[in-house]
Amino acid sequence: MPLYFIGLGLGDERDITLRGLETVRSCDRVFLDGYTSLLRTDLGQLEDLYGKKVTIADREMIEENVSSLLEPARTGNVAFLVVGDVFGATTHHDLVLRARQLGVECRFIFNASILTAVGVCGLQLYRFGETISLVFWTNAWRPTSWYEKLEANRRRGLHTLFLLDIRVHEPSEESLARGVKVFEPPRFMTIADAAQQLLTLWRERAQLLGRETDETGAGAFAYDSDTLCIGLARVGQVDELMAVGTLKEFSGKDFGPPLHSLVMPGDLHAVEAEYLASLPRASSLQTLLV
Amino acid sequence: MPLYFIGLGLGDERDITLRGLETVRSCDRVFLDGYTSLLRTDLGQLEDLYGKKVTIADREMIEENVSSLLEPARTGNVAFLVVGDVFGATTHHDLVLRARQLGVECRFIFNASILTAVGVCGLQLYRFGETISLVFWTNAWRPTSWYEKLEANRRRGLHTLFLLDIRVHEPSEESLARGVKVFEPPRFMTIADAAQQLLTLWRERAQLLGRETDETGAGAFAYDSDTLCIGLARVGQVDELMAVGTLKEFSGKDFGPPLHSLVMPGDLHAVEAEYLASLPRASSLQTLLV
């Protein structure tokens, strides 16, 4: 009576593997991780194809009421569907541990992840350094610990993938202050948001250092407003969009619906440089933001 | 008339996605990358399921006779199947560039890769540093440039994934010297091979430094024979095998058929440590090597 963790890949319901589909159809209960990821298809279409009713496992269920997911796996086959690959989110390791503590066997059916699909931008996967997650800044919380990771990647000439925040089923700060949970609509960080966060930190630090722009080389800031990046939107979907541009350019560009990712290249090999030169330029994209 | 790059994932022919299968069936010609990866299923079974004759694209075709693959894509739909995810191998960027130069549109259908499936070992994917490829040492060629990457990962407390060499359809050195290509049987680097290579470098360097073993801390070697690692074999397949052990232990352990990977953890968070503690120990595996 295993608990199957099944990756759904990056696109719609047809990106499940044959093995994944057969397994879902053999299950008594099917849950979909709706906490760490956004489903990029209609739930009804997914249920029609899989032939199963799907229950959304939101943050509350996974963090506070996980037994409603684990208990059925003690007596029947249960599928836990994850957009992307199975271990994209750290909460899933925790789920596996809790399942095993209950004596529930876990099995894994892997699928595509942005962590390797990002190769579509032309950079070699084995030349990426540590992946960086950017989260939305609020007035009260402006984490900048990503900067050290970025600097370490840049110093070694490595490429950097930025995974951009998504907020699904989050209670609003106001509602928490009032003691009643009211959930905000899902929102996702855009490439423009990410570029603006990077530029904000650069401007603030550059002013501290007493200069408006920064030189390359030892001691300099890890990037500036002219640093060339690659914006990727909806990778693996039919309306995938990808462009090369500077952080300054990206800060005013709209790449459309989720999900967005940003890549900052390190040192380029010949084939990488040729590939990047063949990509569309951000300056050719229509500017929808002011 | 696109050229479709289609990931096959990590297991057998049933690990293709529904989208991938529909696409293969719509193609006039189907090639399988037999240069950078090992197919982990019978070619006949794959052809039966896909309903297509599959041509193996070996190293010679991809490096010297790529037009036999690209020309059909100028007039019809062509699929290029890749074990794992599409951009796992750097040669594929080169193929995309050449295709685009001929005016052939390229499309990508992503799938699982060891680069993210490795999360099954319990370590968080975003805490991995640069991925390291280990190649077979020969008498004439003993590359050790991986050491610097490993040291940089270790210094930052990051985990390291070692991808282990596979040699598919390689001409033997003797045959090249005679001017006639005779191909060696496919061979793959085992976890034991990898551990032995790491230990060899450590022993040689430790002797240079005038000491048999090494301390942790500044200036010390990045690992020693007691460094704890995770061995992973056949991830994503039914006979997947995973164990925790020291490099010394791994150097004498047989994990069975390909493919093998090795992970050296960096600093561990609480959940990571708990997960690793729940994995089988290498010492409990039957020793088949001397």
Nearest to A117 among B10, B85, B156 (CB): B85
The kind and range of the H/E element at A55 are: strand A54-57
Report if residue B289 sits inside a domain. no
What SS3 class is residue B195?
Answer: helix
Contacts of B211 (CB under 8 A, 6+ apart): none
pLDDT at site B169: 66
Min Cα separation B145/chain A (Å) = 14
Contacts of B212 (CB under 8 A, 6+ apart): B206
Mean pLDDT of all residues in B194-218: 74
Contact call for residues A9 and B110 (beta carbons, < 8 A): yes
When mean pLDDT is compared across A72-86, B11-25, B27-41, B134-148, the lowest value belongs to B27-41
When mean pLDDT is compared across A71-75, A270-274, B35-39, B263-267, the lowest value belongs to B35-39
pLDDT band at A4 (very low <50, low <70, confident <90, very high): very high
Give yes or no for residue A261 having a pLDDT over 90.
yes
Give yes or no for residue B16 having a pLDDT over 50.
yes
pLDDT at site B40: 78
What SS3 class is residue B235?
Answer: coil
Give yes or no for residue B7 having a pLDDT over 90.
yes
Q: Which residues of B are annotated as a binding site for S-adenosyl-L-methionine?
A: 10, 85, 88, 113-114, 164, 235, 260
> ipTM value of the model?
0.91
Together in a domain, A254 and A139: yes
Together in a domain, B125 and B91: no
| Residue from B18, B24, B110 to probe the interface with A (highest A Cβ count within 10 Å) | B110
Min Cα separation A180/chain B (Å) = 31
Together in a domain, A171 and A34: no
Domain end, chosen from B64, B87, B112, is at B112
Contact call for residues A2 and A105 (beta carbons, < 8 A): yes
pLDDT tens per residue across span B123-165: 999 999 999 999 999 999 999 999 999 999 999 999 999 999 9
Report if residue B205 sits inside a domain. yes
pLDDT at site A65: 85
Mean pLDDT of all residues in A111-124: 97
Of all residues in chain A, the one with the smallest CA distance to B152 is A156
pLDDT at site B270: 95
Residue A231 pairs with which residues in a beta bridge? A243, A262
The mean pLDDT of chain B is: 90
Report if residue B241 sits inside a domain. yes
Domain end, chosen from A93, A112, A131, is at A112
Min Cα separation B94/chain A (Å) = 7
The pairing of strands B132-134 and B3-7 is: unpaired
Domain end, chosen from B112, B139, B163, is at B112
Which positions in chain B touch A145 (Cβ < 8 Å)? Answer: none
Together in a domain, B180 and B86: no
Cβ pair B236:A131 closer than 8 A: no
Cβ pair B111:A113 closer than 8 A: no
pLDDT tens per residue across span B33-76: 987 677 778 899 999 999 999 999 987 888 888 899 999 999 99
Structure tokens at B236: 């994503």
A164 is in an annotated binding site: yes
DSSP sequence for B122-165: S--GGGB---EEE----SS----THHHHHHHHHHTT-BEEEEEP
Together in a domain, A90 and A119: no
Together in a domain, A107 and A119: no
pLDDT band at A286 (very low <50, low <70, confident <90, very high): low
pLDDT at site A48: 96
The residue ranking higher by pLDDT, A216 or B91, is: B91
DSSP sequence for B239-276: T-EEEEEEHHHHTT----SSPEEEEE--S--HHHHHHH
Report if residue A290 sits inside a domain. no
Q: How many domains does chain A have?
A: 2
Contacts of A180 (CB under 8 A, 6+ apart): none
Together in a domain, B260 and B232: yes
DSSP sequence for B196-212: HHHHHHHHHHHHHTT-S
For the beta carbon of residue A154, count every other beta carbon within 10 angstroms.
22
* Residue B28 structural domain: 3-112
Q: Which amino acid is at A195?
A: A
Q: What phi and psi values does residue A224 have, to the nearest 5 degrees?
A: -140, -170
Min Cα separation B107/chain A (Å) = 9
Report if residue B290 sits inside a domain. no
Contact call for residues A14 and A20 (beta carbons, < 8 A): no
Together in a domain, B57 and B79: yes
Whole-number Cα distances in Å, A112 to A15, A40, A83, A157, B121: 9, 14, 9, 26, 18
Which positions in chain A touch B96 (Cβ < 8 Å)? Answer: 122, 275
Together in a domain, B44 and B132: no
Report if residue A240 sits inside a domain. yes
Q: Which amino acid is at B32?
A: L
pLDDT band at A238 (very low <50, low <70, confident <90, very high): confident
Which positions in chain B touch A280 (Cβ < 8 Å)? Answer: none
CATH assignment at residue B132: 3.30.950.10
Report if residue B164 sits inside a domain. yes
Cβ pair A17:B152 closer than 8 A: no
CATH assignment at residue B95: 3.40.1010.10
Q: Between A and B, how many CB-CB pairs are < 8 A?
A: 168
Together in a domain, B43 and B181: no
The pairing of strands B3-7 and A228-233 is: unpaired
Using the CB atoms, write b or e for B72-95: b if 16+ within 10 Å. bbeeebbbbbbbbbbbbbbbbbbb
| Residue from B93, B150, B232, B267 to probe the interface with A (highest A Cβ count within 10 Å) | B93
Together in a domain, B213 and B99: no
For the beta carbon of residue A147, count every other beta carbon within 10 angstroms.
17
Structure tokens at A26: 């053999």
User: Which range is most confident: B28-37, B100-109, B176-185, B215-224?
Assistant: B100-109
Number of helical (H) and strand (E) elements in chain B, helices listed first: 11, 12
When mean pLDDT is compared across A69-73, A144-148, B39-43, B78-82, the lowest value belongs to B39-43
Which positions in chain B touch A278 (Cβ < 8 Å)? Answer: 97, 100
Together in a domain, B158 and B62: no
pLDDT band at B218 (very low <50, low <70, confident <90, very high): very low
CA pair distance A51, A80, nearest whole angstrom: 15
Mean pLDDT of all residues in A2-20: 96
The residue ranking higher by pLDDT, A178 or A287, is: A178
pLDDT at site B65: 85
Report if residue B232 sits inside a domain. yes
